Structure 1
Amino acid sequence: MSAVPVALGVAPTHARTGGEGSSLAGLAAEARRKAALREQSRARRNARVDGRERRRRSISELSEIARRGQAELGGSGIGAADEASAEEVIAWAVEQFGDSLAVASSMTDSVLSYLVSRQLPWVDVLFGDTGYHFAETLGTRDAVAHSIDVTVVDVRPRLSVAEQDEAYGADLFARDPESCCRMRKVEPMREILGGYEAWATGLRRADSGTRAKAPLVTFDHNNNLVKINPIAAWDDDRLVGYALRHGLTVNPLLNDGYPSIGCEPCTRRVSAGEDSRAGRWSGVDKTECGLHI
């Protein structure tokens, strides 16, 4: 048998643990440790939402923090070379908000979740589970939950798809997409965001014209908390390159003609030359679900 290469100062697993059985025991212990950390994170989240852990600062206080943050991190203007890096923005957010910071993810990729988890392990990652997602998106969510030190929180609407069909008729998304998005995505997310002081989003200026002026930090008047866009300045190549370098999970639909991924009934493949969000609510005068406007 060929010799096993050993990094300087690190013995092979079997040499460190005394055999295969010990190695398996070590893996089991690590799995238990991570499970315990997840439970601690969930307990902190529940305490925060119930208002037992700390007082949520007032709207005026949070608005002032957002103003100072953009002044500190925004450099000489949106898109300027002296804007803070994503890591610097996240460091500021963690210092300001700690466990009162959440990440919102559509599970198109896991880049933002990973970036934040490096500075705030077991951060809550809010996923709007609308009941209409592609199977690939749900698979990406599950992979993120098991591969990154985050706590994925499924944010679900009050009504199931069947209950909504009974109350409003089948396929509301086709007849009234605004109402469907509001009930299945915007209102549930707004409700849970009430337990946080800030949320980090993966919104990028390269996404579309409506997002071209997105700041790094702003006050979100729709949800009454600070909104942080750490990767606002990143283009597609930088995002994909980062994911590849760090071996991060990405939604397989990205490689199947879907540069922007939402609910399955309201998302189509994008043709060459089209805007990356052209496949969202195609044929309808609608470009955003309502979370970011």
Structure 2
Amino acid sequence: MSSLLTYKSWNDEIPSFSDSDESKGALPVLEWAYKHYGDSIVYASSFGIESIVLIDLIAKVKDDATLVFLDTDLHFKETYEVIEQIQNRFPNLNIRLEKPELTLKEQEEVHGSELWKTNPNLCCQIRKITPLKKALGDYEAWISGLRREQSSTRSHMNFLNKDDKFQKIKVCPIIHWTWKEIWRYVYKNNLPYNKLHDQGYPSIGCMPCTAPTHDLNDLRAGRWAGTKKVECGLHES
């Protein structure tokens, strides 16, 4: 493909990838993405267990890749600890922490206390969606660690996706990986990971909106538990 694949140039002639190799397509997709986009692609990492696998795979392709983490100021201390461990393990990676425009105190002054309880969608908009839009900036594409197995809302994801929310190409290299395969890779490669995973947190977000769960049929059951909310909005078109 000679011309750059962008949101505006999206068409039916996008490249296809097989999931039959050992990485289930992840490495070929990443190799294509970094060769195709160069410095115009960024990985938006949550530093959850899927992210740990993806970071290791990315480092094999581009060891000085840029990662952005949406620092909402509401994360668990264990999340910040694993970010530091990953930076030590992969010193060439460029890890950027993207902050919201409003501090928690400013958000409280404008919208009242504990906005994540009174209006969680607005809280996610302020602390995650708007900062990601800023972080993506002039990048043509971004990488995400979504897997089809995670939830019904993610079961349709492809390796390459037209992202209408951010008007970028969203690259999802590990869509075919299973939960067991993720953990097998982490243990095999002795990768650092968030220790909350060992305490019943399969999916880890902000502290007020994340609870432990042992429902392996719904790995995101601990996110916004007791509400109808299932996504922060980053992956909704």
Q: TM-score, normalised by structure 2?
A: 0.90
Q: Which of 188, 203, 212 in structure 2 is aligned with 1:269?
A: 212
Cα deviation, 1:177-221, whole Å, max 9, x if unaligned, reads 000000000110011112211111110011111111211111111
**d(CA) in 2 for partners of 1:272, 1:221:** 31
Cα deviation, 1:31-81, whole Å, max 9, x if unaligned, reads xxxxxxxxxxxxxxxxxxxxxxxxx986423x24xx544x422x5xxxx75
Q: Which of 167, 191, 196 in structure 2 is aligned with 1:224?
A: 167
Computing the radius of gyration over CA atoms, which structure comes out larger, 1 or 2? 1
Q: Give the secondary structure class of the aligned counterpart of 2:150.
A: coil
1:124 equivalent to 2:66? Answer yes
Q: Where does the alignment leave 5 or more consecutive residues of structure 1 unmatched?
A: 1-55
Specify whether residues 138 and 291 from structure 1 end up closer, same or farther in structure 2 by C-alpha distance, changes over 3 A only. Answer: same
**d(CA) in 1 for partners of 2:175, 2:24:** 11
Q: Which of 85, 96, 99 in structure 1 is aligned with 2:39?
A: 99
Give yes or no for contact 2:6–2:168 (8 Å, CA) kept in 1.
no
Cα deviation, 1:93-116, whole Å, max 9, x if unaligned, reads 011101111111111131111211
Q: State the structure with bigger RCO (CA 8 A, min sep 6), 1 or 2.
A: 2
Give yes or no for contact 2:41–2:142 (8 Å, CA) kept in 1.
yes
Q: Percent identity?
A: 34
Cα deviation, 1:103-150, whole Å, max 9, x if unaligned, reads 111111311112112111211111010010011011111111221131
Give the deviation of 1:283 after TM superposition. Answer: 1.1
> Which segment is superposed worse, 207-216 or 167-176?
207-216
Report how many residues are paired. 229
Structure with higher helix content = 1
| Residue type at the aligned position of 2:16 | E
Q: Which residue of 2 aligns with 1:236?
A: 179
1:86 equivalent to 2:30? Answer no
**d(CA) in 2 for partners of 1:146, 1:96:** 28
Specify whether residues 178 and 123 from structure 1 end up closer, same or farther in structure 2 by C-alpha distance, changes over 3 A only. Answer: same
Give the deviation of 1:272 after TM superposition. Answer: 4.0
Q: Report matched runs for 1:58-73 at 5 Å.
A: 59-61=7-9, 63-64=10-11, 67-69=12-14, 71-73=15-17
Q: Give the secondary structure class of the aligned counterpart of 2:161.
A: strand
1:247 equivalent to 2:195? Answer no
Give the deviation of 1:243 after TM superposition. Answer: 1.1
**d(CA) in 1 for partners of 2:72, 2:184:** 29
**d(CA) in 2 for partners of 1:264, 1:92:** 36
Runs of 4+ in 1 over 6 A off after TM superposition: none
Q: TM-score, normalised by structure 1?
A: 0.74
Q: Give the secondary structure class of the aligned counterpart of 1:260.
A: coil
Q: Where does the alignment leave 5 or more consecutive residues of structure 2 unmatched?
A: none
| Residue type at the aligned position of 1:146 | N
**d(CA) in 2 for partners of 1:232, 1:123:** 20
Give the deviation of 1:84 after TM superposition. Answer: 6.0
> Which segment is superposed worse, 233-242 or 111-120?
111-120
